């Protein structure tokens, strides 16, 4: 039977690439996208639900159950306006999505985190991401896959000057990241999306962490 997927963050860089892949993949017959606005995509199996992220875990969905849940929510501290607001999106909204997925019986939850995520980190970004991962583990879903990409490559809808500057520096130097430094190579959003799809199809029970150097770039240009 075709699976049902639940997606959050489908208007973002990774989320939009992921949604395209899920809609084109024969394993998923229905894809429920939750967000504040439409994704801008279309497909016979796509169901879009407008939600209040501050009450996300109580949202009602047009399905009775989901098989796989994919969370691509994320912002920046600058865009959010404060560390507290950033943590609300990148930690609390993500965990609320996990609770929503659990309420609808999701067997697998796959989430985009970040390289070096650590709940005890002195870096605000890494600490928030690490605490988000820890909170999701506490939900005790049957299967949790955490994907930790390095710097993301791709065309965003919104401007992120600092990220753009980092990409401009990192892209031509990517070939120099070898051996232990390989994990710091920038990766494309398409590759992250492809990895999430592949891992959803192969996921076993328990917690799996996919580090950036395990994201398979060679899959970035074709649907699964």
Measured over the CA atoms of residue 122, residue 128, residue 132 and residue 138, the dihedral's sign is positive
Query: For residues 168-189, b (16+ Cβ closer than 10 Å) or e, as one string?
Result: eebeeeeeebeeeeebbbbbbb
Known active-site residue 125:
yes
Known active-site residue 129:
yes
The partner residues of 147 in beta bridges, in order of sequence, read 112, 210
Write down the catalytic residue from 93, 129, 155, 182.
Answer: 129
The burial of 142, by beta-carbon neighbours within 10 Å (0-12 exposed, 13-18 middle, 19 or more buried), is given as middle
Nearest to 219 by CA among 185, 200, 196: 196
As a whole number of angstroms, the distance between CA 36 and CA 83 comes to: 21
Measured over the CA atoms of residue 108, residue 196, residue 88 and residue 123, the dihedral's sign is positive
Spatial contact of 47 and 19, defined as CB atoms under 8 Å apart = no
Q: What is the DSSP letter of 71?
A: E
Write down the catalytic residue from 79, 93, 102, 125.
Answer: 125
Residues taking part in catalysis: 125, 129
């Amino acid at each position: 039977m075709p699976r049902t997927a639940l997606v959050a963050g489908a208007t973002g860089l990774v989320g939009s690439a992921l949604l395209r892949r899920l809609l084109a993949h024969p394993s998923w017959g229905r894809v429920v996208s939750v967000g504040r606005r439409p994704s801008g995509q279309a497909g016979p199996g796509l169901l879009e639900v407008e939600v209040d992220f501050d009450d996300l875990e109580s949202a009602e969905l047009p399905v009775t159950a989901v098989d796989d849940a994919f969370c691509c929510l994320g912002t920046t501290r600058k865009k959010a306006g404060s560390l507290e607001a950033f943590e609300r999106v990148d930690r609390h909204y993500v965990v609320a999505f996990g609770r929503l997925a659990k309420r609808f019986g999701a067997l697998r939850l796959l989430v985009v985190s970040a390289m070096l995520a650590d709940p005890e980190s002195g870096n605000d970004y890494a600490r928030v991401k690490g605490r988000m991962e820890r909170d999701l583990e506490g939900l005790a879903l049957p299967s949790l896959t955490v994907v930790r990409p390095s710097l993301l490559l791709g065309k965003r809808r919104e401007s992120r000057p600092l990220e753009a500057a980092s990409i401009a520096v990192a892209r031509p130097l990517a070939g120099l990241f070898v051996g232990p430094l390989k994990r710091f190579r920038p990766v494309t959003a398409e590759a992250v999306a492809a990895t999430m799809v592949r891992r959803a199809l192969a996921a076993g029970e328990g917690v799996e962490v996919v580090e950036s150097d395990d994201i398979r770039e060679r899959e970035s240009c074709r649907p699964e």
